[in-house]
Amino acid sequence: MTKWVYGFGGGSAEGSAGDRNLLGGKGANLAEMCGLGLPVPPGFTITTAVCSWYYANGRTYPADLQEQVAAALEKVGDISGCRFGDPERLLLVSVRSGARASMPGMMDTVLNLGLNDRTVEALARDSGDARFAYDSYRRFIQMYSDVVLGVAHEHFEEILEDEKAQRGHELDTDLTAAEWQEVIALYKAKVEEELGTPFPQDPQEQLWGAIGAVFSSWMTPRAVTYRRLHDIPEDWGTAVNVQAMVFGNMGETSATGVAFTRNPSTGEKKLYGEFLINAQGEDVVAGIRTPQNLTEEARIEAGSDKPSMEKAMPEAFAAFVEIADKLERHYRDMQDLEFTIERGRLWMLQTRSGKRTAKAALKIAVDMVAEGLLSREEAVLRVDPASLDQLLHPTIDPKAERDVVGVGLPASPGAATGEIVFSSDEAEEMRAQNRKVILVRIETSPEDIHGMHAAEGILTTRGGMTSHAAVVARGMGKPCVSGAGSLRVDYKAGTLV
């Protein structure tokens, strides 16, 4: 019998970093972190071989896959002391993609899977926090409807903005449990209006819907474009990672964040990243809220008045610094990390080699030789020859007069000029006419990959140094300013003020 599913968690794993081709980058590294004894929520990986089968057999699955997934899910329940779909011992899961090569944000993710009208009450009871439970349920409805059911996320954002405005709330975190219940009712009504069927309540139906959506996302236009730009073969496929949920939105002792073990723009050996208290992972990378600095040094440098993780959560921060150093030494490369803190307890959700500029790649390679992590020969191979033209990036003449219209975060270095455009399609059209453009968005999403490729530079009014725009721009070698909060973009009017 072919083994389609590999488990990890509870201090052991069926795979390792060497199984990248079969388990994808994320799955292989989750298994490796488990083997290193790091705190990783239990889960399992459905292999890239299933993705190949899926497309070769009319988007169907191998006959014995369902049985193997059920057994793996049972084991996750045993490790966590919970059971999927059981309100008495509630287990919720995340479903994420994981290709052999890193493709940040290009494929689909679903969090909080397993929530329905019954289990949300169990989550409220178990956590002692009804507001958190209903916030998690509305996030799940919004994400699942967008990713799996094809109901655009804009519908839900519009409903939420209207509800906040009616109640005089500025932030999502201002809504009470009762107010979230009203939002949920409106979300479900919108799904039924759009599809003619109610939002699915069966956890098994939800799970297989999400697994299918991740495999299908391998062939979305944005993923195809990204593969073309980065020379990633189509037949590699993606794995699917199903993992027990840990929650960063459980109040003021919970948080979520993204970090690099070194600065991905300059290569400087300093922990670089951002986090948000009382939030889930997509809040950081989507740039929905502008995040806080990890270190006190970075907070002072940024002139932020919001507390750093170092100050707000000193114990979790100390544990994270130790793990970050351990992972960089283990992989002998700069790492891009995702983590969640649930009620003071740190959990690692991902490690991978971080995207970096050519300038950073050079510095990191040279420094790692000096630190005894790499040989000189290995260091030379770490720098992509094609990326060296980034070192010739234009910069603004320091003596030139500047009429500053806004200030944001230096997400990716360089300088660019061009006409302002507000949509990726328009950026691509104007590029075809040999016109230079700057893509201006409130925040970028994976759907903007073609516009970012066509633009000379990117400006966003929301998001931080680890947002989607920042990570993708650095990988492309394009200048990017993110989180320019003093500027206002009006898509309908076509204005930036």
> What pLDDT is recorded for position 264?
93
Q: pLDDT class for 160, splitting at 50, 70, 90?
A: very high
For 486, the 3-state DSSP assignment is coil
pLDDT of residue 139: 94
Per-residue pLDDT tens over the stretch 410-454 = 888 889 999 999 999 999 999 999 999 999 999 888 889 999 999
Q: What is the mean pLDDT of residues 174-178?
A: 94
> Percent of the chain at pLDDT above 70?
99
Average pLDDT, the chain: 93
40 part of a folded domain: no
Q: In terms of residues, how long is the chain? A: 497
91-107 pLDDT, tens digit each: 999 999 999 988 877 78
CB 351 within 8 A of CB 29: yes
Rounded to whole angstroms, how far apart are CA atoms 375 and 326? 19
Domain assignment present for residue 302? The answer is yes
At 180 the pLDDT is: 97
Confidence of residue 400 (pLDDT cuts 50, 70, 90): confident
Quick check: is 80 in a domain?
yes
Q: Answer yes or no: is 10 within a domain.
A: no
Query: Which of the pair, 349 or 283, is modelled with greater confidence?
Result: 349
Q: What local confidence, expressed as pLDDT, does residue 68 receive?
A: 98
Strand partners, 9: 12
Residues 233 and 94 in one domain: yes
- Residue-wise pLDDT tens digits, 289-315: 778 999 999 999 989 999 999 999 999
Contact assessment for residue 468 and residue 274, using Cβ atoms and an 8 Å cutoff: no
Task: Give the pLDDT of residue 286.
Answer: 66
Same domain, residue pair 89 and 220: yes
CA distance 261 to 353: 10
Read off the tokens for 181. 């219940």
Phi/psi for 457 (5° steps) reads -160, 170
In the chain the first and final C-alpha atoms are separated, in Å, by 62
pLDDT at residue 274 greater than cutoff 80: yes
- Residue 202 sits in the same domain as residue 270: no
Does one domain contain both 115 and 149? yes
pLDDT in tens, 321-331: 999 999 999 99
In a domain, 147, yes or no: yes
Q: Output the domain CATH number for residue 134.
A: 3.30.1490.20
Does the pLDDT at position 287 exceed 70? no
CATH number at residue 311: 3.30.470.20
Residue from 460, 461, 492, 494 nearest 478 by CA: 460
Total tally of structural domains belonging to the chain: 4
Q: Is 384 exposed, middle or buried (0-12, 13-18, 19+ CB in 10 A)?
A: exposed
Tell me the C-alpha to C-alpha distance, in Å, between residue 238 and each of 93, 107, 218, 381, 495: 19, 9, 7, 26, 39
- Do residues 116 and 99 both lie within one domain? yes
Please check whether residue 449 is in contact with residue 225, taking contact to mean a CB–CB distance below 8 angstroms: yes
User: What's the domain range around 114?
Assistant: 53-64+72-244
